Amino acid sequence: MRARQEEFERTLLHPRAARAEHSRGRARPEEPDPIRTAFQRDRDRVLHSKPFRRLKGKTQVFLSPEGDHYRTRMTHTLEVSQIGRTLARSLRLNEDLVEATALAHDLGHTPFGHAGEDALRRFVPEFHHARQSLRVVDRLARSGQGLNLTDEVREGILRHTKGLGPILPADGPVDHGSLEAEVVRVADLVAYVNHDLDDAARAGLLADSAPPETVAEHLRRSYGARIDFCVRSILDATDLDRAPHLALPAPLERLLEEARDFLYANVYRHPLVATELQKARGILCALWEKVEADPGPFLGEAGGPLDRGVPLRTAIADFLAGMTDAFALTLFERLVLPKRWYAGPW
C-alpha cells in the first residue's frame, strides 16, 4: 500500500514537490510503515496527540465568548489544513506534508491566544509559539518522548509564522523551506484574516471602525466566497514551472496586508478585547509566580521535567503554554483566589 502511494507521488506530483520516499528522515530512525507514507504517519501522530486535542480549549482571539460559533485554536487549525490541502492538490504538491504541517503548526500556542504568549515573554523573552510548537512535537508530546516527526514537517512548523512581516519575502522558498511550507504559511494567513474578520463582525466590533475600501468590499462577499476568492487568486497567479515559489497577485496581497493591519489596529487592540486579554495576561503571570515559588507540586514528580534536568524557567513555560484556557482559570482560582471556609458551629 505504501509503495503504491509513493509511486503515485513519483508519477503525479510536480517535479519540485516533496516526496515522502525522499524525506530527510527523523531524529530517531524508524522502520517504514507498511501502509502509510512518512508524511501520513506524521499527520496521524499529530491528529491523535494530546496537544492537538487541547487546541479545542485554547483561545483564537475572543476569550470565553458568549456564542458557539466563534473560532478556537482548533477550528483555526482545521481551516488552515483545509485551505492548505486545496492549494496543494491544485498545485500538485504533497498534500500529506501540507496537512501534517498545518495540523501541527499551532501546537505550542499558549492559553488565551497571543495574550498568553505576551505574558510568558515577560519571564522568557525568547518564547515564541512557533518554536514552542516544535518543542512540543520534539520533546513534550507522548509524555516527553516527542512525536519524532520528519524534518520536512518540523521545518514547516518553524517557518509558518509571519506576524506583521512580508507574506512572501522576495527571496522565496530559501526563507521558508519547501513549497509545502510556503503553502501552510499562506493558508494560515488566509484563514486567520478571514475568520477573525468574520468573528469580529459577529461580535459587533466593526461597527465603530471604517475598514479600508478593499477590506470593506471583501466583507460584502459571503464567507465562502471570500475564501474562494483568495484561493483562486493564488492558484491563478502561481506557475511553479516558471517561478520558484507561490505567487500572490498584487490585489490579493494588498487585501491581505490591509486586512491584517486593520485587524491588529481595530480588533486585536479593541478595548473590549484588550480588557479581557489583559486579565488573561495577569492570570498567567500570577500562575508563573506561584509555580516558580513552589515548583514541586507541579513539576517535581518522578520522571518529570525537573527530574530530567530541564531548567526551571523552561519547565514552567512548558507547563503554562500547554494549558487550556479552562485549566489555567481553574488553577488560578485554586491557587490565587480566596476560598470560603467554615470553622465549625458558632
CATH, residue 58: 1.10.3210.10
Residue 283 within any structural domain of the chain: no
Residue closest to 39 by CA, chosen among 11, 17, 15, 55: 17
Judge whether 169 lies within some domain: yes
Could you list the residue range(s) of the whole structural domain that residue 193 is in?
A: 40-273
Structural domains in the chain (count):
1
Look at residue 67 and tell me if it is in a domain.
yes
* Residue 96 belongs to a domain: yes
Euclidean distance between CA atoms 328 and 58, whole angstroms: 10
Q: 289 lies in a domain? A: no
* C-alpha R_g of the chain: 22
Per residue of the chain (346 residues), what is the pLDDT tens digit? 999 999 999 999 999 999 999 999 999 999 999 999 999 999 999 999 999 999 999 999 988 667 788 999 999 999 999 999 999 999 999 999 999 999 999 999 999 998 999 999 999 999 999 999 999 999 999 999 999 999 999 999 998 766 556 666 555 444 558 999 999 999 999 999 999 999 999 999 998 888 999 999 999 999 999 999 999 999 999 999 999 999 999 999 999 999 999 999 999 999 988 898 999 999 999 999 999 999 999 998 888 899 899 999 999 999 999 999 999 999 999 999 988 766 666 6
14 falls within a domain: no
Q: CA 13, CA 206: separation in Å to the nearest integer?
A: 43
Residue 186 lies in a domain: yes
What burial class does residue 303 get, using C-beta atoms within 10 Å of its C-beta: 0-12 exposed, 13-18 middle, 19+ buried? exposed
Residue with cell 513552589: 294
How much of the chain is in helix, strand and coil states, percent to nearest 5? 60, 0, 40
Within a domain: 97:
yes
